[in-house]
Structure 1
Amino acid sequence: MTTKSYTVKGMHCASCAAIITKKLSKVEGITEVNVNLATETAKLEFDNNSLTAEALNEIVNKYGYSLEAEQPTTERGDVVSDAAKKRAEKERELHKQLRKVQFTLPVALLVFFLMMWGIAAMFFHLIPHLPLSMELLNLFFMLISTWMVFRTGAPFLHGIVMFVRSGAASMDTLIGIGTVTAYLYSALITLIPPVKAFLHAPDYTYFDTTIVVIGFVLLGKYLEARSKLKTGEAIEKLINLQAKSALVLREGKEIEIPVEEVRRGDLVIVKPGGKLPVDGTIAEGYSSIDESMVTGESIPVDKKAGDKVIGGTINKQGSFTFTASNVGPDTVLARIIRMVEEAQGSKAPIQQIADKVAGIFVPVVLILALLTLLIWLTIGSSALGFSAALSYGIMGMVGILVIACPCALGLATPTAIIVGIGKGAEYGILIRNAESLEKLSSVNTIVFDKTGTITTGNPQLTDIIVLHKESTPASLLQMAASVEKRSEHPLAEAIVEAAKKQNLTPGEITKFRAFEGIGVSAFIENRSVTVRKPVESEKKLPELQKLQEEGKTVVIIEESGICKGLIALSDTVKEEAKEAIQALHRKGLRVIMLTGDNHAAAKYMAQQVGIDEVIAEVVPRQKAQKIRELQALGKKVVMVGDGINDAPALAQADVGIAMATGTDVAMESAGITLLKGDINKVAQAITLSRATMRVIRQNLFWAFIYNSIGIPLAAGALFPVWGIFLNPVFSGLAMAGSSVSVVSNSLRLKRIKLS
């Protein structure tokens, strides 16, 4: 199965997205189609290698669209540059729209002013009539509307042509049919008087309506495009983080080169105030680096030789040299941009409602518009006469075609998703897809792994208890360090580090074995040595009980089956842990700690930070089972872990949140990744998800209400009772306002405070 992304050209509304989705879904070999209006992209999953971009374009070109294949992630030379190019292209398109609006809007406003003056003069005697004859004014309007319909409104005419050719109708089709109907009717009764006499048509025409509707619709499209561009400002900020050049040391000389030319292994020189061009490890010097734009942390981080640094961050003071390790698409910044782009292009489950409506919206509107005309010509004629009924029927049909806009529905979800995910990226909360963001808003249980999540993950050796007369603390520590030097467990690292501090050299070992969730063993000079967790029969040892009551983790040192002693280690709670748990409690969430530690140590740690429940002595492979058990009880579960050894549990949970630090970003492990391992960001992520879903629901509500009220008004539903009829001009204004209001509401998420 292959997945490819394409940039979609010619897509202007939710109906366009629905047409592309429908047509591509019917292609043999394509198993999934995800078309996103807000990002103007299409992601296809297929198992037919013959489906090239050319083959796909043969399908969509006939409907007025085109696809441009995006380069696969692994082939991109520079993800940051690619993102910058995409934004620059959108800005050029926006500029073209602006030039068109700058011409059409003044004309539309002038005509609108003259229309309002004429209407006001009919109802208020104090307002004089226009100092122009109706014949002259009508000729002036006809000339301008001809230009507007056939030149400025050419995309709308194209929508009609596509509808006639293929039967696929979009928003452009609706606007096109509405304005062309008004224009042709007006042209017929103006240029061919016998037609006017035959229809008993009134004197007034709809040239002015055609002009103003096209002008306002184009203004709405421009404002919508400008607002959509603003939703992607998070990506722009990330793009602007990258340095344009780098100062590298080659052949003993300092040379400045474009950042794209930095190679892995290059020695890069960074001066005070400079941006780091790529990721690497400090080779010489020290500094304080502002990593806020990548990690969300406001306090500069002190760095010294051996510490890792991230491209795009700012060197606040001091000069240093670092060795480039990740360049091009492999840098943290590039990976973050790629992740945010992919997430912003994904769909939340709630969007399925809008997609289904948009898929049938335009055909239904066309039928309603035609029925409105027929009802006015039949029922309306008997009450008002044919001439008046024809006039109202045309206005009602045009009004429905103009005011009915699926764009607000199509934009309701993706614009909020784009802004929400971008906001999260600014805070160091990397959201992998829209589904995770939606699910996070409804969770009620948070499960934390202990080590590296609630605690710092850097345990320290605290006690060595000798239980055999032939042993000493030093001999026990040396034996344990000899065996544990092959292990990657945090406790093993602490034991080895403690031995180094006491200048104890680990011995040579053979036949090393690791037992998951139990311990490790090896042979030292023909002696079998095991470092393991206590078994049930050993838990009653007074020394062991005392250490565990103090919240310490205890391991047994066993030689040839004889217990030689105990080593106790203790992890330290993160400074922000208690505050973070309190924040989750305020949100009404139950907090559970899931750990492989013994019950006493886990309970002691949980009490320090206020955790509700402890599930202890669980080996890694059992963690996913514990998550399933909670879900079976009806809990909606978030699992928070380090994204590596907790991967099964992260995948099983409704939402997995991986803790990551610096350049060690476990982006593939979970739906959400928190940079710098700050668990305060868990509560922030939930705040963001709830706010985003609240905005989406508001958008969908108003989009549905807008069309539910607007279409009957445009059809003339109020006329029989109050004599009120919505002019198509105001329908055009309302249509433009609906999309802009939805995008503007989504943009409010940019101002939300997560902390």
Structure 2
Amino acid sequence: MTTAELVLTRLTVGGMTCAACANRIERKLNRIDGVQATVNLATATASVTHPPSLPASDLVATIVAMGYSARPPQADGPASAGDHSDDVLRRRLVVAGLLTTPVLIVSMVPAWQFTGWQWVVAVLAGPVVGWAGWPFHRAALRNARHGSATMDTLVSLGALVSYLWSGWALVATPAGGPEVRMSFAFLGGHDHALYFEVGAALVTFLLTGRWLEARARSRAGSALRGIAELAARDVAVLDTSGHDHRVPLADLRVGDRFVVRPGEKVATDGVVEAGVSAIDAALLTGESIPVEVGPGSGVTGATVNTGGRLVVRATRVGEDTRLAQIGRLVAQAQAGKARVQRLADEVAGVFVPFVLVLALATFAGWLALAPAATAVGVAVAVLIVACPCALGLATPTALLVGTGRGAQLGVLIRGAAALESARRIDTVVFDKTGTLTTGRMRVSDVHPVDGVSRDEVLRAASAVETYAEHPVAQAVVIAAGQHGGAAVPTVADFRVVPGRGASGVVDGTRIVVGNTLHLADAGVSVDTPTGVTDTVVHVARDGRWLGWIGVSDSLRDTAVPAVARLRALGLRPVLLTGDTPAAAEAIAKQIGSIEVIAGVTPEVKAATIRRLRDAGHTVAMIGDGVNDAAALSEADLGIAVATGSDIAIEASDVTLVRANAGTVDLTAAVDALALARATLRTIKVNLFWAFAYNILMIPLAGIGLVNPMLAAAAMACSSLLVVLNSLRLSRWRPTMQAPSTSTEAIGAAC
């Protein structure tokens, strides 16, 4: 069966808690004949290619039979499910924290233990272990049904055994007596000890880490939701009588003719049949200059009509549009990214079964040598001391502190994937417009004909352009003021031809400003410059050509030092843009040594990133537009500037918000790479100490030298060590100190 004969189905999957869950579902689906599945933990989705004879309901049934939930994605996208999961976890965490605090204080401080304190602690710890810890118990049951075990299994067993053992001791041993006070003992003390605080603390600590991870995962789907939100909601369709009426976008069909008024979004991809205008495609192309369109011109959905009324014939709708294609590219690129959290889950796949077997062996061995209460106490100590609390906190705490420090430095780092790949980056790819350049138009040069001054050309052009709203016109007006032009006179008979130019009568003379076609319509002959990288604006007065004005984007002040610092680090800078080769080369000459790849579409941008990666390079992509979203997601590390589109920012791993002279400071990209590497190093140190704690404490607990109380304290100390090590990141500084940033500057950049 060929690929063309297969069907692609996307499902929203619920109940996944770690990479092991996603891998298990993926393996199960791929065992079905003819099925190729990719399960994305970040967006909680499964993309399944399957034969048409296999209904999607069978795929859903397969996933549900594994203990997870599955359904077709809703209109609000996968992120919504993640947001709901975040809310549920947050409620569980808040309740657990409020109840666990008094349980810990009373249980660990004998002087505060009042008459009947054991029963109060039991009542408070019950909801924490049962209700707040239900996600761990549910995952453990699901894993048990399929003959597997994860960290959830240890957490569930540790919490339940601690609580149930304590409950039994409370009613069946002297530990429940009204005058009993539980003192801390490093050795022994298993017979009458209560461990309610152990179960409650386990659940609370692990819920904290789980909530932080869930927040990061839920945000990953917002890039796709943002792309969908760019599309128009309804469209003015023309009927056979020539009248238009608005219908939902979903009712639009290929071949339908629809109206796009000035300021409206183009509803879908199509061809202009009537009207001329300028289309602002910056959201999709990243280029700030509006594109002139007329009959026969192609237009893309979600772009904005800045000029006259257009009649467009739809050529592609729904999932076939360019916007939908970009969304699929982002989803596919995100699905293939690794995450550092996988390390802990993969190790746990071996570590957890080993601990379970060890705890049972410990119980059996002690049961032959000592009373049952002692045997249970030692086995509980092994389970508790092996509970991977520090392992669960190793990644999210470092992420929290590292990203917080990054925010102080104007660098927003999202997700562990950024940290994992940053240390291997060898190639940094830049978009041009809005990234290396400011995205704001300016007059770069004025070329008057013989006998005409530069100021004369600017004054004539600005007199007319003052009344126009086009970005190029605004750049000309600003330049005229900077060159000391006189006050703008009144313009009579002002006319605008959308997509071409404007004209008007100033002091009795007619001035025409615009492109070559506009001046030709006015009967003015001009010499078209060759090899020019700027947008050309011709100016004529009373039928005489006065010259032309070059309008271009401006390079960011920090672009040159940023590229220089990257080269000094041994990284390869590349300029990747949809602009013309001439315009790209002009920017490259200002920057210095940088490789140029120009004239590419968003799809080719993503393909170029893939080609670089296939060649063995680890690639960071820095961009700002929707057209960069797929490339940002395809790169090993996506870096977006905060002045760019929300879609690019959501699709990226890192966002630069540090301001320098009112614009985003590109040198922050260098700091982002360094900070990401430092955070990853911290995570690895955390993981080392988390495992070292288990390697040291499990044998001691197994031979009876550590009771469950000490095990709980040791577990808390290991978690504290991880947190303190992560806090070291709060003092991290770049090796080359960047310009200081105030809160106001960051806010302005955002």
TM range (shorter): 0.5 to 0.7
1:64 and 2:47 correspond: no
Equivalent residue, structure 1, for 2:42: 38
**8 Å Cα contact 2:14/2:69 also seen in 1:** yes
Aligned equivalent of 1:269, options 247, 250, 260: 260
Please state if 1:358 is matched with 2:316: no
* 1:85 counterpart SS class: coil
Q: Report matched runs for 1:660-679 at 5 Å.
A: none
2:80 matched residue in structure 1: 88
Match of 2:600 in 1: 642
Instruction: Rate the CA distance shift 1:661–1:301 in 2: closer, same or farther, 3 A.
Output: farther
Provide the C-alpha distance between the structure 1 equivalents of 2:249 and 2:207, rounded to a whole number of angstroms: 40
- The structural deviation recorded for 1:182 is 0.8
Q: Do the aligned residues in 1 keep the contact of 2:224 with 2:327 (CA within 8 Å)?
A: yes
Mapped to 2, the partners of 1:147 and 1:239 lie a distance apart of 41
Deviation at 1:366, TM superposition (A): 3.9
Give the counterpart of 2:332 among 342, 349, 363: 342
Question: Corresponding residue for 1:110?
Answer: 99
Q: Is the 8 A contact 1:269 1:320 kept in 2?
A: yes
Shift of 1:694: 3.8
Q: What's the TM-score once normalised by structure 1's chain length? A: 0.54
Deviations 1:429-475 (A, max 9, x none): xxxx99998899323899x9xxxxxxxxxxxxxxxxxxxxxxxxxxx
Counterpart in the other structure of 1:528: none
Q: Which amino acid is 2:600 matched to?
A: D
The answer to whether residue 359 in structure 2 is matched with residue 398 in structure 1 is no
Give the conservation status (yes or no) of the 8 Å contact 1:177–1:401. no
Alignment of 1:331-480 (within 5 A): 331-348=321-338, 351=339, 355=342, 358-368=345-355, 371=358, 391=377, 394-403=380-389, 405=391, 441-443=425-427
CA distance in structure 2 between the partners assigned to 1:153 and 1:592 by the alignment: 49
Deviation at 1:333?
2.9
Residues 735 and 163 of structure 1, relative CA distance in 2, 3 Å threshold? farther
1:259 aligns with 2:249: yes
The alpha-carbon deviation at position 11 of structure 1 amounts to 0.9
Q: Secondary structure at the match of 1:587?
A: helix
Paired with 1:6 and 1:410, the residues of 2 have a C-alpha distance of 28
Q: Take 1:25 and 1:321, find their aligned partners in 2: how far apart are those partners? A: 48
Q: Deviations over 1:357-398 (max 9, x none)?
A: 63341441342365478679989999x999789646524522
| Count of residues paired in the alignment | 557
In structure 2, relative to structure 1, the CA distance for the partners of 1:65 and 1:574 (3 Å cut) is: same
Give the match for residue 176 of structure 1: 156
| Distance across 1 between alignment mates of 2:220 and 2:607 | 34
**Other structure's SS at 1:238 match:** helix
Q: How does 1:537-552 map to 2 (within 5 A)?
A: none
In the alignment, the residues of structure 1 paired with residue 610 and residue 717 of structure 2 have an alpha-carbon distance, to the nearest angstrom, of: 48
Matched to 2:101, the amino acid is F
| Structure 2 CA distance for aligned equivalents of residues 612 and 238 of structure 1 | 34
Unmatched runs of 5 consecutive residues or more in structure 1 = 71-81, 123-127, 421-425, 427-432, 449-496, 504-549, 553-571, 595-600, 614-636, 746-750
**Residue 158 of structure 1, aligned match among 138, 159, 162:** 138
Secondary structure of the residue aligned to 1:84 is coil
* Contact 1:395-1:728 within 8 A present in 2 as well: no
Task: Give the equivalent residue in structure 2 for 1:78.
Answer: none
C-alpha spacing 1:17/1:402, structure 2 compared with 1 (3 Å): same
Note the C-alpha offset of 1:312: 3.4
1:211 aligns with 2:200: yes
Provide the secondary structure at the position in 2 that maps to 1:243.
coil
Q: How does 1:189-338 map onto structure 2 within 5 Å?
A: 189-193=169-173, 201-250=190-239, 251-264=241-254, 265-272=256-263, 274-280=264-270, 283-284=274-275, 286=277, 289=280, 291-296=281-286, 301=290, 303=292, 305=294, 310-313=300-303, 320-325=309-314, 326-338=316-328
- 1:610 and 1:187, CA in 2 relative to 1: closer, same or farther beyond 3 A? closer
What is the identity, as a one-letter code, of the residue corresponding to 2:24?
Answer: I
SS at match of 2:78: helix
- Partner residue of 1:705 out of 676, 688, 694: 688
Structure 2 unaligned residues grouped into runs of 5+:
178-187, 407-411, 433-514, 522-529, 533-549, 577-581, 646-663, 731-745
Q: Which amino acid aligns with 1:642?
A: V
Residue in structure 1 matched with residue 444 of structure 2 by the alignment:
none
CA–CA distance in structure 2, aligned partners of residues 646 and 118 of structure 1: 60
Q: Spell out, residue by residue over 1:158-183, the C-alpha distance to the aligned partner (whole angstroms, 9 max, x if none).
A: 34434443321133322211111112
Q: Which amino acid in the other structure matches residue 566 of structure 2?
A: K
1:133 aligns with 2:116: yes
Distance 1:592 1:95 in 2: 42
Partner secondary structure for residue 112 of structure 2: coil
Residue type of the partner of 1:64?
G
Amino acid at match of 2:202: V
Q: Could you say what secondary structure the match of 1:169 adopts?
A: coil
SS at 2:387's partner residue?
Answer: helix
TM-score by length of 2: 0.55
Check 1:52–1:287 CA distance in 2 against 1; reply closer, same or farther (3 A cut): closer
- What displacement does 1:28 show? 6.0
The corresponding residue for 2:541 is: none
Change (3 A) 1:575 1:720: same
Aligned alpha-carbon RMSD (Å):
6.5
Q: 1:342 to 1:735 in 2, by over 3 A?
A: farther
Residue type at the aligned position of 1:172: D
Distance 1:360 1:309, change over 3 A: same
For the residues of structure 1 that align with 2:250 and 2:718, how far apart are their CA atoms? 47
Cα contact 1:34–1:44 (8 A) shared by 2:
yes
The 5 Å alignment of 1:503-518 reads none
Q: Distance in 2 between matches of 1:607 and 1:223?
A: 42
| C-alpha displacement of 1:339 | 1.9
Q: Cα–Cα, structure 1 residues 650 and 88, in superposed 2: closer, same or farther, change >3 Å?
A: closer
| Post-superposition offset of 1:37 | 2.2
Given that residues 38 and 228 in structure 1 are in contact (C-alpha distance below 8 angstroms), is that contact kept between their aligned partners in structure 2? yes
Letter in 2 for 1:334: A
Say if 1:373 and 1:714 are closer, same or farther in 2 by CA, change over 3 A.
farther
